[in-house]
């Protein structure tokens, strides 16, 4: 079976999801064939690499493959690679085009030495080559590179955008995906469409009907409903019962970091507590996370957090 990740990869600007402003800028660049050095910054799976590929296709047409190279900087991150493969591509003449494009995917993994070498190459070969950096963390790119680039910041995909993409795949692949399953897919993928597509393909091999329980089991993540029940029980003042619920969750193999992130997401996105109380809960949650990271016993610290939630009932 062919990989869906290639099947559903956008082939034109109009197919890129949730990045309207950036798409308009890239379309304008492609129309004028006037491309700057660029940093594409944002969370994983929101279309950074795809946008660069689509831009290359729009600028170069049928010969785009000969004028475009993609390097995964997390693999090709050494200075020797920069001085070899990259320099060789940059110095050669473009084919039926004014310049070439080099895309560094995951460029925030490049070593400092490699980035300094690229700084010099960008100056030397700017007439024949454009450098595009795809990053999750822009701060990991040295200032001299940032100052030479136009910075395009990709936004996290909205829930509506993710649901539309799920519906598109479900219609194409004849899958039955209900609203709860869509919410679960959105939660598990965290807006990363690569993760989403791979998970849906994996689930479709088992059944054409995808439900929330199957999504959570396949992803290895916890059942959010149980976490919600535990939080509601603690907030009702029943510390003992909430401890039993969370003990069961932890006994099923969920690590403490994942549990704290799940609690943070629930409190952030629901009205389980009012906005005033959220401030105190977030502060206590951050303190619990810090203590655990510093080496305190995780379950004791988590019970202290539950005791804090239970005490809010009396406030």
Give pLDDT tens digits for 271-307: 888 888 898 999 999 999 999 988 889 989 999 999 9
Work out the average pLDDT over 29-45: 91
315 pLDDT above the threshold of 80: no
Kindly state the average pLDDT of the residues 198-222.
83
Domain ranges of the chain: 4-153, 159-219, 224-314
Q: Could you identify the residue written with the tokens 């004014």?
A: 98
- CA angle (205, 208, 210) in 5-degree steps: 95
- Please give the order of strands across the beta sheet that includes 129-135: 68-72, 100-105, 129-135, 38-41, 150-153
Say yes or no to pLDDT of 81 above 80: no
- What is the percent of the chain with per-residue pLDDT over 70, rounded to a whole number? 94
The proportion of the chain whose per-residue pLDDT surpasses 90, expressed as a percent, equals: 44
pLDDT at 216 over 80: no
In this prediction, residue 212 has a pLDDT band, given cuts at 50, 70 and 90, of confident
For residue range 167-207, what is the model confidence (pLDDT) as tens digits?
999 999 999 998 888 988 888 888 889 889 998 998 998 88
Full-model pTM = 0.74
Mean residue pLDDT of the chain comes to 87
pLDDT band at 28 (very low <50, low <70, confident <90, very high): very high
Q: Which tokens hold the place of 190?
A: 């965290």
What pLDDT is stored for residue 93 in this prediction?
Answer: 87
Domain spanning 224-314: CATH 3.90.850.10: no
pLDDT tens string 238-272 = 999 999 999 988 887 778 888 898 898 888 878 88
What's the CATH number for 159-219?
1.10.8.60
The domain 4-153: what is its CATH number? 3.40.50.300
- What are the pLDDT digits (tens) for 51-74? 999 999 999 999 999 999 988 866
Distances in whole angstroms, Cα of residue 94 to Cα of each of 98, 100, 106, 128? 7, 6, 25, 7
135 pLDDT above the threshold of 70: yes
Q: How do residues 86-125 score in pLDDT, each as one tens digit?
A: 888 888 888 888 899 999 998 888 888 888 888 888 888 8
The answer to whether 215 and 184 have CB atoms below 8 angstroms apart is: yes
């Amino acid at each position: 079976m062919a990989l869906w990740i290639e099947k559903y990869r956008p082939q034109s600007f109009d197919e890129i999801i949730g990045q309207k402003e950036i798409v308009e800028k890239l379309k304008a660049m492609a129309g004028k064939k006037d491309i700057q050095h660029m940093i594409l910054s944002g969370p994983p799976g929101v279309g950074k690499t795809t946008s660069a590929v689509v831009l290359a296709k729009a600028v170069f047409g049928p010969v785009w493959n000969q004028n475009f190279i993609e390097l995964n900087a997390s693999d090709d991150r050494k200075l020797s690679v920069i001085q070899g493969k990259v320099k060789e591509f940059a110095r050669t003449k473009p084919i039926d085009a004014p310049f070439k494009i080099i895309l560094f995917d995951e460029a925030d993994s490049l070593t400092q030495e490699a980035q300094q070498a690229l700084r010099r190459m960008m100056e030397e070969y700017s007439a024949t080559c454009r450098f595009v950096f795809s990053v999750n963390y822009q701060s990991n790119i040295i200032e001299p590179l940032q100052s030479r680039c136009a910075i395009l910041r990709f936004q996290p995909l909205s829930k509506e955008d993710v649901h539309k993409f799920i519906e598109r795949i479900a219609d194409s692949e004849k899958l039955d995906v209900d609203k709860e399953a869509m919410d679960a897919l959105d939660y598990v993928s965290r807006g990363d469409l690569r993760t989403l597509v791979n998970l849906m393909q994996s689930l479709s091999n088992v059944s054409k009907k995808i439900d929330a329980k199957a999504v959570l089991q396949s992803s290895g993540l916890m059942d959010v409903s149980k976490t919600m029940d535990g939080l509601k029980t603690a907030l009702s003042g029943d510390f003992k019962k909430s401890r039993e619920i969370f003990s069961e969750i932890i006994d099923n193999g969920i690590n403490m970091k994942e549990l704290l992130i799940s609690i943070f997401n629930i409190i952030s996105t629901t009205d389980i507590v009012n906005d005033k109380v959220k401030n105190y809960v977030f502060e206590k949650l951050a303190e619990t996370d810090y203590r655990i990271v510093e080496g305190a016993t995780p379950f004791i610290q988590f019970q202290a957090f539950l005791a804090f939630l239970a005490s809010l009932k009396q406030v």
